[in-house]
A and B are shown apart, each in its own frame.
Chain A
Amino acid sequence: MELFTNQVLAGIATGAIYACMALAVVMIYQAIDHLNFAQGEMAMFSTFVAWQLMQWGLPYWVAFVLTLIFSFIGGIVIERLLFKPLAKAPVLTHVAGFIALFAIINSVAGLLWDFTIKQFPSPFGSSPFLGSQLISTHQAGMIFVTLILLVLLFAFFRYTRVGLAMRAAASMPESARLVGINTGWMIALGWGMAAAIGSIAGMLIAPVVFLEPNMMGGVLIYGFAAAVVGGLSSPLGAVVGGFLVGIFENLVGTYIPGVGNELKLPIALALIITVLVVKPNGLFGRAIVKRV
């Protein structure tokens, strides 16, 4: 029983990582209506920027805020330079664009900061949280920040004009344009916000997994999975999905005899596909009605 609780707690701790990333995934999905495969790399690059600023002697929070601004602007710039000209190209071409972006960012980060792992500080420290050695204060802090982000995002999409306009622009660009929404800039804004949220995720994840150019590879897969399980249109779903994936993965590794440990990821992914088969729009997603 102790092992069970421990694994669940450890799952929540790793789940926080996935949840954080999943929020960024939902953000971009709301803005452009599909996934950005370079999102993890963008977050990694932002985190390196924060690290570099701190190396130059800036205090954590100053570096944090500057990185947020950098990422927001960086996201918009990428959209304007790279994806706006492709607006008329098919979606598959966009995916190729994401892959190109992935390769470029990864390679440049490797050249600038090399591949040795770097320690990234945590504003929350890393002592045991409430006496539990399984969750550190950093992980507790991460969960807390994730929840705040969740509330903010929820409010943004639900109650602000910009948020509603953005959703409209993503899901029904033509109708949105007709009611006077500047869909082009909505998309750019979405990229900026997604990049900024990604940078927060990166800065929260780095103290746990260590900073290096390939740090987001694994995280992004789980982030996608979490977002999809929860429903790509729901920030709440993404966060719940993140924790579910984290916990489930640990339990599979611990309790399925023989192959459980070796096949943790495949089994977790199989479960996700099962969820999707039963609920194609995720646990919290809105059903999409197709029209002829």
Chain B
Amino acid sequence: MISTTSLRLAALSTVTLAFAATGGSAFAQKKYDTGVTDTEIKIGNIIPYSGPASAYGIIGKIEEAYFKMINDQGGINGRKINFITYDDAYSPPKAVEQARKLVESDEVLFVFGPLGTPSNTAIQKYMNAKKIPQLFVATGATKFGDYKAFPWTMGWQPAYQSEGRIFAKYALTEKPNGKIGVLYQNDDLGKDLLKGLKDGLGDKASMIIAEESYEVSEPTIENHLVKLKATGADILVSISTPKFAAQAIKKVGELGWKPMFFQSNVGSSVASVMRPAGLENSQGVLSLAYAKDASDAQWDTDDGMKKYLDFVAKYAPTANRADSSAIYGYGQAQTVVQVLKQAGDNLTRENIMKQAASLKDFAPDTMLPGVKINTSATDFYPIEQLRMMRFTGEKWDVFGPPIDSNLGG
């Protein structure tokens, strides 16, 4: 037995050698790193399918479904995508374990879309030391666009800080003498966006007369709004995730308080925030967006939205199509497919980073009209444009041109 196996092995290696020798010139441009063959590209991913942030698990499921669709259509340049996604339960130690498993055991080409600021911070050093792309991280923390210190890490969604800055600009022009009350979630989202807001206000940062933070463990945040109203603020900036965003909008309505209300992007879904909060309470609320909202009827006839809806109907029939996380996963997966298309047969980790850093005017199906993805060797913030919108009737009215936040070069 032993002799036959070794014979076979020997034969096999001779064939491979011969192939490599002849193929050397014929496929000169074919360059692979670990995780790629002529028929397959291995991509890793880390998402909290369980634990406190399991609501985001749908992003991983949609991405998996999206790659299945791509594979059914023949893959990318003839290669199928093998998407390996693991659960980190939103715990940094677990994220490190899973990232190492992906890299050292599954031997993926790169890790795509790991979710959450803590988890990404935990694996960032490792990924960069190993020179493995940590591509399109699913968090808006501004630190994930630092191409100098971490050339293997790239963000995707607009940085939280840019949101703060854009709203500061708006407040300064519309209500220069306003008094701002801020309600923020006490985590990286809240702190980062608040910093952007303060930076944007510049020497007028004193417009902020009150800051109230809440913890996600609080059942309701009503009392914070009672307190903010009592300060006499006439601009309310609510930096909150869907459940708390809905509570805030509802409570502000119930209190009969009519401030200029700015809601951060993460909590602006029509289906999971505005409608539960009550349409009567939601009127006039301002927010920023870069993607379309599948629960917003105005996009029903939109070509990109139709593609998205067809995809969900066929590949993820059990998913809630109106969930903004589903749209997020779709856009992110489409961006990575674009990167792989651009990379062609040069599927080295270096080239993946290079292609990710040379996206030009790329517009996934789910982006708002006018919002485009642009990156360069000195700009690791793919989506930088946001559009202001106001809630009117049952939908968001986008107004004004796409605003560039220019955090990257």
Contact = CB atoms under 8 A, between A and B. Distances in A.
Direct contact of A and B (CB under 8 A): yes
B322 A128 contact: no
Contact of B271 (A14, A107, A116): A116
B227 A119 contact: no
Contact of A209 (B212, B215, B243, B275): B243
A3 B242 contact: no
Contacts of B222: 10, 13-14, 208
12 contacts: A11-B223, A14-B219, A115-B54, A116-B242, A117-B243, A209-B220, A217-B52, A218-B217, A218-B219, A249-B223, A265-B215, A265-B217
Contacts of A219: 219
Interface string B236-263: 0000001100110000001110000000
B219 A126 contact: no
A7 B227 contact: yes
Nearest to A21: B219
B218 interface: yes
Interface string A210-241: 10111101110110000000000000000000
Interface residues of B, number: 38
Nearest to A205: B219
Contacts of A208: 219-220, 222, 247
Interface of B: 50, 52, 54-55, 57-58, 186, 212-213, 215-220, 222-224, 226-227, 230, 242-243, 246-247, 254-256, 269, 271-273, 275-276, 319-320, 322-323
Interface of A: 2-3, 6-7, 10-11, 13-14, 17, 103, 106-107, 110, 114-119, 126, 128, 133-134, 136, 205, 208-210, 212-215, 217-219, 221-222, 249-250, 253-254, 261-262, 264-265
Given A6-B226, A11-B223, A253-B227, A115 B58 contact: yes
B186 A262 contact: yes
Contacts of B213: 261-262
Question: Which of B54, B58, B222, B271 has the most chain A CB atoms closer than 10 A to its own CB?
Answer: B222
B227 to A, nearest CB: 6
B398 to A, nearest CB: 22
B217 A250 contact: no
Given A114-B323, A262-B213, A134 B52 contact: no
Contacts of B219: 14, 17, 205, 208-209, 215, 218-219, 222
Given A208-B222, A218-B219, 17 more contacts: A6-B226, A6-B230, A10-B222, A10-B226, A14-B222, A103-B50, A110-B57, A115-B58, A116-B242, A128-B254, A134-B226, A134-B255, A215-B219, A219-B219, A253-B223, A262-B186, A265-B215
Given A6-B226, A10-B226, A119 B247 contact: no
A243 to B, nearest CB: 14
